[in-house]
Structure 1
Amino acid sequence: MKLLIALLTLLYSSPALCQEALLPVRIMATPKPAAERFAGTDAFGWDYVIADNEFRKQKDGRVLKYKNVALGDIFRVDLQNPLQIVLFYKKFNTLVLLDNQMNATNLINFNDISEPLLAEAVGLASQNRLWVYDLNTQQTGLFDTAKNTFRTLTPPNNGGITWYQNDYNYFYWTDNNGNLFVLNLFGKINTLGTLPPFDAAQLISNDVLLLQKDNVLYQYQLSTQKSTPVTIIEKTFGAFYYKDGILSIFTNSEIIQYKISLPR
């Protein structure tokens, strides 16, 4: 009995053990074919991957697919709305919208509109609109998918775009110097800070990002410019994705999910 009490006292009083309890909790590992490229997950438990240039939505052995061989490689996927998924085929300057059954509901070739665009960055915005960065003019604006018209919101951006992320109301990007900016629907631009070098990134809030660099995952806080490693078991991984408290890690052989709490 005395030994049990001593162990419990150690468990609740030791700083090392308390710190360990705050680490991410591994909740699931799913085997996968090595050739898959991870795109993300949704709130309904579906995983989204790209294999053989085919976009796949899979869960519990069920797989839904979309493939368009005429458009080349899928450059980027926007999953913020599982009912309106965006596939960007950059080489062919084309975008495809999918419904939740992986049926194409719209195909937009930016070469074929009345005032052609050379899309470098594309993402879903609100009210049937898309964020588009046009490389020809170096301007970012909103593309109306119903009218096939583009309205610029920014002056020419001479700093380029090295990374971007978007939601319905905001478009975020970094320039060649690592400066992070945010643009709203009304054309207002704010500077959020400067990021250290990274291989991949995901913005969690206006102050917190997850950064991947050399197979290490960091939590980076813009206001303090502080990087904190996120402790996970995997020593090498190809991609990560965070949503609703679940951190998904994509390795050569499986998708591992952790329960993790990040500051907003």
Structure 2
Amino acid sequence: MKFTFYIFIFFSVSIFSQESIEARLISKVDLNVDTLISVDNFGTSYYIKDDVIYKKTNIETINYNNLQLGTIESANAFNPLKINLFYKDFNTIIILDNRFAEIFKIDFNTLSEYKSVSHVSTGHDNTIWIFNQDLQKLELFDYKSRITRAQTAPVQSAVLDIKSNYNSCWLLTENYLYTYNYFGSLLKKITNTGYTALAESNENVILKKENALLFIKKDSEKIIPIKTSNLLINQFFVTNETLYIYNHKVLQKYQLKTN
């Protein structure tokens, strides 16, 4: 009887270990940009070429440049009405509207409470998530009132990536993947076993490990591999259940079957 029970357990574990998510190729297109930021549900793409950010629709292409601030370290178009550009060399963030007009400039060097920022992502209302290198804390910063609304406890390892939506923020460090709410409270902590980058969509998380992608469903800690062909993954992001993988030459679009 015990032998039969152990066989059942072994069989169940084997099935579990083989669980994966299918990614069905929809299309691929040649693309030559420095950084692909995102593609929305309407096909509007945001990308960076030679430190100029572009927004391309079916009708037009618009751009914004601020070359005196140097290299764009990161850009976030999660909220297309408040796009943020981070110029790390100048410790400065520019906020753009949907027509790429500059609506806010945050120079952290000139604040009464100086902040040395290494990573930036979008928050709710007039806030942005920033990682304060001096304090080793993630902060929710209100760029209108110039105050910190929330902050986390210090983290003990180097930050690799950051992603957010209006409700939560995910901080990937060399040791852990942290999930925080907009009060700065820790919701979840998962050990990093080799992840180097992440993406988020509808509270679901996709992690990159070497040249593979893994999926963590909202309210779960189970890590499930995504079945893709042997691709070179330089950049990736997810819009709803559509996975985009870019290798600096070709953009591939996949449908994820997560249910």
Assess same fold via TM > 0.5: yes
Q: Secondary structure at the match of 2:208?
A: strand
Measure how far apart 1:82 and its partner are.
Answer: 1.1
How many residues align structurally? 238
1:146 aligned onto 2:144: yes
1:188 aligned onto 2:156: no
Give the number of the structure whose residues are more often strand, by fraction. 2
CA contact under 8 A between 2:120 and 2:162: conserved in structure 1?
no
Corresponding position of 2:9: none
Measure how far apart 1:205 and its partner are.
Answer: 6.2
The aligned amino acid for 1:103 is A
Measure how far apart 1:143 and its partner are.
Answer: 1.6
Once residues 223 and 198 of structure 1 are traced to their aligned partners in structure 2, the CA distance between those partners, rounded to angstroms, is 17
Corresponding position of 2:83: 85
Corresponding position of 1:136: 134
The aligned amino acid for 1:216 is A
Measure how far apart 1:92 and its partner are.
Answer: 1.0
CA contact under 8 A between 1:88 and 1:94: conserved in structure 2?
yes
Corresponding position of 2:101: 103
Once residues 153 and 126 of structure 2 are traced to their aligned partners in structure 1, the CA distance between those partners, rounded to angstroms, is 23
Once residues 226 and 191 of structure 1 are traced to their aligned partners in structure 2, the CA distance between those partners, rounded to angstroms, is 14
Q: 1:32 to 1:155 in 2, by over 3 A?
A: closer
In structure 1, runs of 5+ residues without a counterpart are: 1-21
| 1:50-79 Cα shifts (integer Å, max 9, x gaps) | 111111111337321111111111111122
TM-score under structure 2 length normalisation:
0.81
CA contact under 8 A between 1:42 and 1:79: conserved in structure 2?
no
1:261 aligned onto 2:257: yes
Corresponding position of 2:211: 215
Corresponding position of 2:12: none
Corresponding position of 2:29: 30
CA contact under 8 A between 1:122 and 1:131: conserved in structure 2?
yes
Q: Secondary structure at the match of 1:70?
A: helix
CA contact under 8 A between 1:40 and 1:241: conserved in structure 2?
yes
Higher relative contact order (Cα pairs below 8 Å, separated by 6+ residues): 2
CA contact under 8 A between 2:119 and 2:162: conserved in structure 1?
yes
Once residues 61 and 212 of structure 1 are traced to their aligned partners in structure 2, the CA distance between those partners, rounded to angstroms, is 34
% identical aligned pairs: 26
In structure 2, runs of 5+ residues without a counterpart are: 1-20
| 1:209-255 Cα shifts (integer Å, max 9, x gaps) | 322233333335695654424224x6323211111121112133332
1:243 aligned onto 2:242: no
| 1:21-47 Cα shifts (integer Å, max 9, x gaps) | x843332333222x4321111222111
Measure how far apart 1:96 and its partner are.
Answer: 0.7
| 1:97-136 Cα shifts (integer Å, max 9, x gaps) | 1111122111111111121111122222112112222112
RMSD between superposed Cα atoms in Å: 2.5
Once residues 39 and 213 of structure 2 are traced to their aligned partners in structure 1, the CA distance between those partners, rounded to angstroms, is 18
CA contact under 8 A between 2:22 and 2:226: conserved in structure 1?
no
Once residues 225 and 244 of structure 1 are traced to their aligned partners in structure 2, the CA distance between those partners, rounded to angstroms, is 19
Once residues 246 and 106 of structure 2 are traced to their aligned partners in structure 1, the CA distance between those partners, rounded to angstroms, is 30
CA contact under 8 A between 1:219 and 1:230: conserved in structure 2?
no
Q: 1:39 to 1:61 in 2, by over 3 A?
A: same
CA contact under 8 A between 1:31 and 1:253: conserved in structure 2?
yes
